[in-house]
Amino acid sequence: MKKLFIFSLILSTLTHNIYCNSILNNVSISGTYLGLFNIIENNQSQFDYATNIDFNYTISEEVSGIIQLQTGAGNGSIDFEGPEAVLTDITLEYAPKNMGLNVTLGSFDVPFGHETDKLTNNADTFNNIHFFNSLPYSALAGAVGTLNTLGIKTEYKLSNAHFISSITNGTSETANNNNNTFQTTAQLSLFTNENGYRLTTSILNSDDSNDTAGTSLNSNLTAYLLEFDLPIDVIKLNINYGNFNFDDNTNSTTDSIKTFGIGISTQLKSLFAGIKSSFWRPDGATMSTSAPTVPGLLSSTSTSANNDQYQLSIGYHLSKHSMIRTEYIINNYLFSNSTTQTTAGFISGINVRF
């Protein structure tokens, strides 16, 4: 009996070790750290930080996924997550070999625009020349965030084209779907090569107008976006134009907001720099009740103000996994009563991948 017990204990220990080693071989942990100092006009000067932690797992050569946690110090003038940790991305991806197909299930960034892959996502700014996102994306998820949604996304890549579509719960970042409707998106990119000339068209529709108990935009939103990427030698030029229609089913209000922008960036070895302008143009003084407040540095409840945002950034890659950057950003507001206000900010910091 004693020998049987010892044998069972040894077998149990070996099985446990083999199982744990198998899990560890299929799971990796990575992430980003962002530490910075910022001065936002009409607010305090401060040090701040944020971090993303990614749990990457592989089930087979064709099936993998990611679970991402985001957090930060909290209560800063920049809207990083924190001080509690927040679960954002949680996906299962199926990518069959040699088919150019990728199917994603779970919580992911709303695939609206080619710029989605270049947004600042809490502590991860590596794909963005600037710290802050442009105005249309700031309206959807804040200046340093991305809009997550729950559902299914399908991507199909050809040699000179890329198509992405999704069906999800809507603009809520949770499983809530009180409106009982689904958000649909479609995006088509035509390009010479992955880093060459590119034309991207994106459309989105999400009726969350009755979703008052959730965390959605509470709107019947229809939007489209056109983007042109034009690389010229060491210079990259991006031009975009879009329209957001926040329908509140009321004839006495204006629903549409136009956005457009232009960005120029360059990279010379480890040094990089960029200038970006983005513009927010509500169509009238009496906006839809479901229209978002005007995005930007200024804390305002206005939904009808014009805003011009200008960003200038310069940075240096210390290594493949670390960089320093300084950005100056300015917002010029024009309100419906013809008054103007200018708000500026200065941000400097270090971003590290691990």
Q: What is the pLDDT of residues 278-325, one digit of tens each?
A: 999 999 999 999 999 999 999 889 999 999 999 999 999 999 999 999
Residue 7, CB half-sphere, CA atoms under 13 Å: how many? 4
Residue 270 buriedness (CB in 10 A; 0-12 / 13-18 / 19+): exposed
Supply the pLDDT for residue 41: 79
DSSP letter (8 states) at residue 134:
P
In the chain, the percentage of residues whose pLDDT exceeds 90 is: 80
Q: For the residues 87-110, what does the mean pLDDT come to?
A: 96
What's the rounded Cα separation, in Å, for the pair 139 and 283? 16
Supply the pLDDT for residue 155: 98
What's the rounded Cα separation, in Å, for the pair 23 and 346? 44
Beta-ladder partners of 340: 334
254 contacts: CB under 8 Å, gap ≥ 6: 282, 283, 284, 285, 286, 287, 288
CB count within 10 Å of CB 245 equals 18
Is the pLDDT at 2 greater than 90? The verdict is no
Using only C-alpha atoms, the chain has a radius of gyration, in whole angstroms, of 23
Supply the pLDDT for residue 9: 43
Report which of residues 218 and 12 the model is more confident about.
218
Supply the pLDDT for residue 24: 60
DSSP letter (8 states) at residue 121:
B
- What is the SS3 assignment for 135? helix
Supply the pLDDT for residue 3: 45
Chain center to CA of 130? 13
Residue 145 buriedness (CB in 10 A; 0-12 / 13-18 / 19+): buried
DSSP 225-260: EEEEEEEETTEEEEEEEEEEEEE-S-TTSB-EEEEE
Q: Using 50, 70 and 90 to split pLDDT, how confident is the model at 107?
A: very high
Is 309:296 a contact under the CB 8 Å cutoff? yes
pTM for the model stands at: 0.90
Beta-ladder partners of 314: 273, 326
| Nearest residue to 330 (alpha-carbon basis) of 351, 349, 313 | 313
Owner of token pair 């991948």: 353
| Nearest residue to 343 (alpha-carbon basis) of 93, 85, 77, 146 | 77
Supply the pLDDT for residue 179: 82
In the chain, the percentage of residues whose pLDDT exceeds 70 is: 93
Is 68:54 a contact under the CB 8 Å cutoff? yes
> Between vectors from CA 237 to CA 239 and to CA 272, what angle results, nearest 5°?
130
CB count within 10 Å of CB 303 equals 21
DSSP letter (8 states) at residue 115:
G
Is 68:87 a contact under the CB 8 Å cutoff? yes
pLDDT digits (tens, 9 = 90+) for 162-197: 999 999 999 988 888 888 899 999 999 999 998 899
Is 293:307 a contact under the CB 8 Å cutoff? no
Q: Using 50, 70 and 90 to split pLDDT, how confident is the model at 6?
A: very low
Q: Which structure tokens are listed for 337? A: 């009563």
Is the pLDDT at 110 greater than 50? The verdict is yes
What's the rounded Cα separation, in Å, for the pair 290 and 306? 17
| Nearest residue to 263 (alpha-carbon basis) of 159, 137, 139 | 137
pLDDT digits (tens, 9 = 90+) for 226-264: 999 999 999 999 999 999 999 988 888 999 999 999 999
Owner of token pair 């240096």: 316
State phi, psi for 261 to the nearest 5 degrees. -165, 170
| Residue 99: C-alpha distances to residues 102, 161, 190 (Å) | 9, 14, 18
